[in-house]
């Protein structure tokens, strides 16, 4: 089979703006459902020992998931898949997918077996501070053994999502997390039914809900790929030339993704040494930051990777640069005002979202301080999500590895300096600093390789001016709207601030001509 029909098909990619709206809209729904999940988590578990134990247990499969699938595997697989489909046709590309699938299955099941056996030793490394509280440590071990089988399920799901994305079917990947969040909520809601019997193991229903979520996501993606006739076959493990090339890219990609995960691991280890609740405070603050990061950074990164891979395979450098510049403008339009809003409204956000049930006002104060610190690094986090696909598409995963090593050093150094001074807030600040520096370094490297233009600079200046107008309005509202705050529930007051702040930003952006043209075109086409 020749590659000509597939190549023609690839060139009919939807616009970046269209793909962004597709992924971002469902990601927004997923994150909103995720907030409902976190509200349920906070209400029924709070920020105590039981919550800390579950979050540590969940960290292990999540860390491996991002390392083996959502990070390294996706970034190594999709450019190789796209290049092979362009050159040799669809059959050859699906053969590569089948190779990747069987190797993932074998390796991940091996990791699960080892983790089940050595879970106590692993958690001694992940959370050394838990050793001083035997009940919390025992709960983390048991919960870790329950959640670990989630790893192969969600990793295969991530590979199948990458295949769907390669076919310009972005909706399935964006919708899959909604299933997981619903199962998580069901587990949290069921906690009161077993609370008297479970004690510190109260998170056990959530852990089992996670396994159900993995099975349902597998079933959902199975149906999607079957409909596309793109489901990889089960076969005996072997490596083609294309497979060897992909795994060669996988190694630096894995090490690069591992660097990011090592940063999170360092934060977890150090947070376990802080007072009870610190892990939970950081978790809830991070969940809020993940909303704009998911909707903007991850959505744009997901849409960019197949597009940049196609441009690189076709040697269309102009298309490559144009897509990156457009993505940065889109990101800036949403992320810059989001960063300022999260810093100014950190307290009302945490209070309005999570102060229910077991989550106290004191917990809210601690989480809000961490949120302000994380928000400071949001532009860097988003830049990394957007720019990483450019390096993978260009066949330079080693650059991501070098940046990752640099961020590890910065994060560890910053954490050791700032944690004694600011506690858990110091950990968040160090993470933000490392993210900002990583984003700036990636911009410099892409500029040097002439894969990133400068057409976005003028637009970013106008976006900053519109954000300043919004920030002045929010500060004014916070100072002179205190009487309204006293007579309104926290959630309603928060919603009002967000709505009015957003209106102020959009008004200023309109008059300053700071609204990206791609977004306007998308809106106009939908209206007409």
C-alpha to C-alpha distances, 8 to 1, 54, 314, nearest whole angstrom: 14, 49, 11
Same domain, 364 and 352: yes
E strands in 168-315: none
**Angle 155-156-161 from CA coordinates, rounded to 5°:** 95
Same domain, 430 and 484: no
Q: How many other C-beta atoms are found inside a 10 Å radius of the C-beta of residue 524?
A: 9
Task: From 257, 283, 273, 248, select the one nearest 407 (Cα to Cα).
Answer: 257
Same domain, 355 and 490: no
Residue 524, in any domain of the structure = yes
DSSP type of residue 515:
S
383-399: pLDDT as tens digits: 888 888 888 777 777 78
Same domain, 483 and 450: no
Average pLDDT of the residues in 91-102? 88
Domain housing 389: 16-455
* Region of 229 on the Ramachandran plot (φ > 0 left; ψ -120 to 50 alpha; else beta): left
143-194: pLDDT as tens digits: 889 989 988 888 888 888 888 877 877 777 777 888 888 888 888 888 777 7
Residue 9, in any domain of the structure = no
291-331: pLDDT as tens digits: 888 778 777 877 777 778 777 776 677 778 888 888 888 88
Same domain, 444 and 472: no
Average pLDDT of the residues in 348-361? 78
Token pair for residue 435?
């993210």
CA quadruple 264, 266, 272, 275: dihedral sign: negative
Domain boundary residue, one of 455, 477, 512: 455
Task: From 192, 221, 248, select the one nearest 398 (Cα to Cα).
Answer: 248
Average pLDDT of the residues in 281-299? 83
Q: Say what the pLDDT of residue 218 is.
A: 92
Domain boundary residue, one of 417, 436, 455: 455
Same domain, 442 and 460: no
* 11 — pLDDT class (breaks 50, 70, 90): very low
Over 90: is that where the pLDDT of 337 sits? yes
Greater pLDDT, 347 or 301:
347
Mean pLDDT of the chain: 80
Average pLDDT of the residues in 77-89? 81
Same domain, 501 and 422: no
User: Distance between alpha carbon 194 and the CA centroid of its chain, in Å?
Assistant: 32
39-57: pLDDT as tens digits: 777 777 766 677 778 888 8
Average pLDDT of the residues in 62-67? 70
Over 70: is that where the pLDDT of 521 sits? no
Same domain, 498 and 439: no
97-149: pLDDT as tens digits: 888 889 888 988 998 999 999 999 988 887 887 877 888 888 888 888 998 99
Q: Say what the pLDDT of residue 7 is.
A: 40
Q: Say what the pLDDT of residue 272 is.
A: 81
Residue 10, in any domain of the structure = no
Over 50: is that where the pLDDT of 12 sits? no
Q: Say what the pLDDT of residue 69 is.
A: 55
Same domain, 441 and 482: no
SS3 assignment, position 395 = coil
Greater pLDDT, 491 or 393:
393
Residue 269, in any domain of the structure = yes
Residue 7, in any domain of the structure = no
Same domain, 108 and 189: yes
422-434: pLDDT as tens digits: 999 999 999 999 9
Over 60: is that where the pLDDT of 6 sits? no
Token pair for residue 254?
């894995």
Q: Say what the pLDDT of residue 216 is.
A: 92
Residue 4, in any domain of the structure = no
Greater pLDDT, 520 or 285:
285
Q: Say what the pLDDT of residue 67 is.
A: 65
SS3 assignment, position 453 = coil
Same domain, 398 and 523: no
Over 50: is that where the pLDDT of 2 sits? no
The lowest-confidence range among 61-65, 78-82, 216-220, 405-409 is: 61-65
DSSP type of residue 518:
H
Half-sphere exposure of 2 (CA within 13 A, CB side): 4
Token pair for residue 204?
């056990």
Domain boundary residue, one of 424, 455, 486: 455
CA distance 162 to 99: 14
**Highest mean pLDDT range out of 194-203, 406-415, 457-466?**
406-415
Residue 1, in any domain of the structure = no
Same domain, 188 and 304: yes
Q: How many domains does the chain have?
A: 2
What is the model's pTM? 0.71
DSSP structure string for 163-211? HHHHTT--HHHHHHHHHHHHHHHHHHHTHHHHHHHHGGGTTHHHHHHHH
Average pLDDT of the residues in 340-369? 84
The lowest-confidence range among 22-31, 187-196, 366-375, 519-528 is: 519-528
The burial class, CB within 10 Å (0-12 / 13-18 / 19+), for 134 is exposed
* 440 — pLDDT class (breaks 50, 70, 90): very high
Q: Say what the pLDDT of residue 198 is.
A: 63
**Residue at token pair 């040494």:** 273
461-488: pLDDT as tens digits: 899 999 999 999 888 887 776 666 666 6
Residue 2, in any domain of the structure = no
């Amino acid at each position: 089979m020749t590659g000509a029909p597939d190549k023609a098909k690839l060139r009919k990619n939807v616009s970046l703006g269209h793909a962004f709206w597709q992924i971002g809209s469902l990601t927004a729904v997923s994150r909103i459902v995720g907030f409902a999940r976190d509200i349920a988590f906070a209400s029924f578990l709070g920020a105590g020992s039981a919550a800390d134990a579950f979050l540590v247990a969940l960290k292990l499969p999540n860390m491996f998931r991002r390392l083996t699938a959502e990070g390294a595997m996706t970034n190594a697989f999709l450019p190789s898949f796209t290049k092979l489909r362009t050159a040799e046709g669809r059959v050859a590309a699906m053969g590569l997918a089948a190779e990747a699938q069987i190797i993932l299955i074998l390796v991940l099941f091996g990791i699960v077996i080892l983790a089940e056996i050595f879970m106590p030793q692993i958690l001694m490394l992940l959370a050394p501070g838990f050793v001083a509280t035997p009940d919390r440590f025992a709960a983390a071990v048991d919960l870790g053994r329950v959640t670990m089988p989630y790893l192969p399920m969600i990793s295969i799901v991530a590979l199948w999502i990458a295949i769907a994305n390669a076919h310009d079917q972005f909706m399935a990947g964006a919708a899959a997390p909604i299933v997981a969040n619903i199962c998580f909520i069901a587990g949290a809601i069921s906690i009161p039914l077993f609370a008297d019997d479970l004690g510190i193991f109260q998170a056990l229903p959530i852990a089992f809900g996670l396994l159900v979520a993995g099975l349902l996501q597998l079933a959902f993606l199975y149906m999607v790929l079957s409909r596309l006739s793109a489901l990889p076959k089960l076969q005996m493990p072997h490596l083609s030339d294309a497979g060897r090339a992909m795994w060669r890219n996988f190694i630096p990609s894995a090490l690069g993704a591992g660097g990011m995960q090592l940063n999170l691991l360092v934060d977890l280890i150090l947070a376990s040494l802080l007072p009870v609740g610190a892990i939970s405070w950081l978790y809830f603050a991070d969940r809020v930051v993940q909303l704009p990061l998911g909707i903007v950074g991850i959505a744009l990164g997901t849409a960019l990777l197949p597009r940049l891979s196609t441009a690189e395979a076709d040697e269309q450098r102009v298309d490559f640069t144009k897509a990156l510049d457009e993505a940065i403008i889109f990101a800036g339009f949403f992320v810059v005002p989001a960063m300022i809003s999260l810093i100014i409204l950190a307290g009302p956000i945490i209070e309005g979202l999570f102060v229910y049930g077991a989550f106290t006002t004191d917990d809210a104060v601690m989480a809000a301080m961490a949120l302000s610190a994380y928000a400071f690094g949001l532009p860097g986090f988003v830049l990394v999500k957007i720019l990483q696909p450019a390096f993978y598409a260009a066949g330079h995963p080693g650059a991501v590895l070098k940046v990752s090593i640099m961020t590890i050093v910065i994060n560890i150094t910053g954490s050791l300096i700032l944690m004694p001074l600011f506690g858990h807030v110091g950990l968040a600040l160090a993470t933000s600093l490392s993210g900002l520096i990583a984003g700036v370094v990636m911009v410099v490297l892409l500029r040097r390789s002439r894969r990133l233009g400068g057409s976005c600079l003028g637009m970013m200046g106008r976006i900053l001016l519109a954000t300043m107008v919004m920030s002045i309005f929010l500060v004014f509202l916070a100072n002179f709207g205190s009487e309204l705050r006293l007579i309104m529930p926290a959630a309603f007051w928060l919603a009002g601030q967000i709505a009015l702040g957003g209106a102020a930003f959009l008004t200023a952006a309109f008059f300053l001509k700071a609204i990206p043209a791609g977004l306007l075109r998308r809106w106009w086409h939908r209206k007409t």
